Chains A and B, each alone.
Chain A
Amino acid sequence: MTAVWDFLVTPFLDYAFMQRALVACLALSLGCGPVGVLLVLRRMSLVGDAMSHAVLPGAAVGFLVSGLSLWSMGLGGLIAGLAVALLAGAVTRVTALREDASFAAFYLIALAAGVLIVSTRGSNVDLMHVLFGTILAVDDAALLLMAGIATVTLIALALLYRPLVVECFDPGYLRMVGGVGAMVHFAFLMLVVLNLVGGFQALGTLMVVGLMMLPAAAAKFWSRSLWSLFAWAAGLALLSGYSGLLVSYHGSLPSGPSIVLTAGGFYLLSLIFGTHDSLRARYLPTAHFAH
């Protein structure tokens, strides 16, 4: 029993940085899990990845203006990310271009601008290292930022829950009844950017996008209703964070990839054993879960 305890719990009792990393995972899971579910349901799964590049020019400008400051880089990233999200969203609403195409266009423009801004300053510091953190080096400011973002996200989702559900399953409906649909959509995109920007700085790109999308995709195999999809996604994200940290700790492996691979493992397990539309539910006729 003590061996199991030593393996699963002691690392988090002994080291403050492990506790911080776990709390960071919790905050990330609560905010990113539900947002990821909505992205999956709206068929915008790759938007998170695109956004991770879109924030670069803003974060780079923030870095060049005031150095390694969480707030100025976050604000810059937020502005750049929002600009890309709003422009892409607006183009989608007023033209025939689909959302994924306009996102691709604007994030590539933003990415190129970011690389240009960085290189004109002549510094060859690896900006991915400077701009994006690692989960092992989360400080108080980063934790507060992430907890704040998770809180804002949950409150906003509670307020927007009804229109979001409607938008998810019938995007045309709200557009017909007035401008509310567009506002809800933009508010949602804002939440996406907020979560990504906060997470990038604290934890790094791979971590945030990974913990946003993989648990959300896995949750689809376990549930149908939006509410429980949120809960599944957040729970799986937290479990991935916890297990990934243990893998990184005991195996001396890089933490970001460990966590994301663990989430990937849960996704594959869900794909095979899940209760809804999983391989087992579909192809094993004896399974009672099959509809």
Chain B
Amino acid sequence: MRIPFRAGLLGLSLAVLSLPAGAAEKLQVVASITVLADIAKQVGGDNVEVRSLVGPNGDAHVYEPTPQDAQAVTKAGLVVVNGLELEGWMDRLVAASGSKATIVVATQGVPTRKMDEDGQEITDPHAWNSAANGAIYAANIAKALAAADPAHAAAYQANGAKYEAELKALDAWARSEVATIPQAKRKVITSHDAFGYLGAAYDIEFHAPVGFSTESEASAGDIAKLIDQIKQEHIKAVFIENATDPRLVQQVAKASGAEMGGELYAEALSTADGPASTYAKMFQYNISSLVAGMKQN
């Protein structure tokens, strides 16, 4: 009698203990962009529900929040932002929504690089395009998830460590892939200047017809210089970024005899059926496309 009773009691107390956790809603996480949302999903697993404010193939530079977005931020237990002034609208959105959520800046501890934009030195926000930085993002997000939802802290830490290792492996893979291309041939043209970190990490030179932001309009002089440059340096790898006007790049490629290398995913993941539905897939896809393109140079 005693043993079953105790077992029953234990079972009951376990059930009571697990009740609040089971009944409580999953931790609501709001991320500014799809890349961050995916990292949060990978680390959080089934314990979190993640929403990205800027959707797949969207452009974070020109995003406008909707009331649903503000509502999601209000309900969120954790808000994930990239920082480095990528999402200028985020601070205002969080303040306006009256949210009490913790805000985690995913780029904390990332070695940043400066870039020249119209003569001004600004910090390049597109740090996730290096997988080594992605691993730092994952560690930051795992730590923040554990703090926001201590009941599942162990799971977050374990998932985080696993995912971090996966990203570091991707980083090593990318290095070995790029190493197959001779140094002199590692040159690429894209329509968006968001690959500064990728270029620095894996030793690839990127040239762009339009400036750093998707907002600036191209000038005839710049385009002419770019066409000359492609011709002189024999760059055949030309890529279109998925959130800007591809027509300009097509014209440049046509005028200079370069070949179109397809689409790269610089700032946003693709939709679920696309080739870059997760951050890891996006990185892999970008590296494979770049390497295939540079082989033509």
Contact = CB atoms under 8 A, between A and B. Distances in A.
A252 B221 contact: yes
A248 B221 contact: yes
B245 A130 contact: yes
A123 interface: yes
B144 to A, nearest CB: 25
B112 interface: no
B223 interface: yes
A210 to B, nearest CB: 14
Interface stretch (A16-24, A58-66, A90-98, A101-109): A16-24
B214 interface: yes
24 contacts: A15-B227, A15-B255, A16-B254, A17-B223, A17-B224, A17-B227, A18-B220, A124-B55, A124-B58, A124-B63, A126-B61, A126-B243, A130-B245, A134-B217, A134-B218, A134-B248, A136-B218, A136-B220, A136-B248, A137-B245, A248-B219, A249-B221, A250-B221, A252-B219
A254 to B, nearest CB: 4
A170 interface: no
B64 A129 contact: no
Contact of B59 (A124, A134, A138, A248): A124
A119 interface: yes
The 3 closest A-B pairs by CB, nearest first: A124-B58, A252-B221, A254-B217
Contacts of B224: 11, 14-15, 17-18, 249
Interface in B217-235: 217-225, 227
B57 interface: yes
Interface in A1-50: 11, 14-18, 20-21
Contacts of A249: 219-221, 224
A255 interface: yes
A251 interface: yes
B11 interface: no
Contacts of A11: 220, 224
B245 A255 contact: no
A159 interface: no
Contact of B245 (A14, A18, A129, A254): A129
B250 A137 contact: yes
Nearest to A259: B220
Nearest to A121: B55
Count chain B CB atoms within 10 A of each CB in A133, A248, A257 and give the residue with the most. A248
A139 B251 contact: yes
Contacts of B250: 137, 139
Given A123-B57, A124-B64, A21 B220 contact: yes
Contacts of A17: 220, 223-224, 227, 251-252, 255
Given A15-B224, A123-B58, A125-B59, 7 more contacts: A124-B59, A125-B243, A126-B214, A137-B247, A248-B219, A248-B221, A253-B219
B59 A255 contact: no
Interface string B8-21: 00000000000000
B180 interface: no
Contacts of A129: 214, 244-245
A127 B55 CA distance: 15
Contacts of B227: 15, 17
Contacts of A68: 246-247
B120 interface: no
Interface in A232-291: 245, 248-258
Contacts of A18: 220, 224
A252 B222 contact: yes
Interface string B91-111: 000000000000000000000
A179 interface: no
B122 interface: no
A122 interface: yes
A63 B291 CA distance: 32
B188 interface: no
Contacts of B62: 124, 126
A20 B58 CA distance: 31
Contacts of B215: 126
A135 to B, nearest CB: 9
Nearest to B217: A254
Count chain A CB atoms within 10 A of each CB in B62, B64, B247 and give the residue with the most. B247
A170 B173 CA distance: 76
Nearest to A250: B221
Contacts of B61: 126
B20 to A, nearest CB: 35
B248 A137 contact: yes
A137 B251 contact: yes
Contacts of A124: 54-55, 58-60, 62-64
B252 to A, nearest CB: 8
B124 to A, nearest CB: 20
Contact of B217 (A15, A138, A139, A256): A256
A207 to B, nearest CB: 11
A16 B220 CA distance: 11
Contacts of A126: 59, 61-62, 214-215, 243
Nearest to B60: A124
Contacts of B225: 252
A111 B218 CA distance: 26
B220 A248 contact: yes
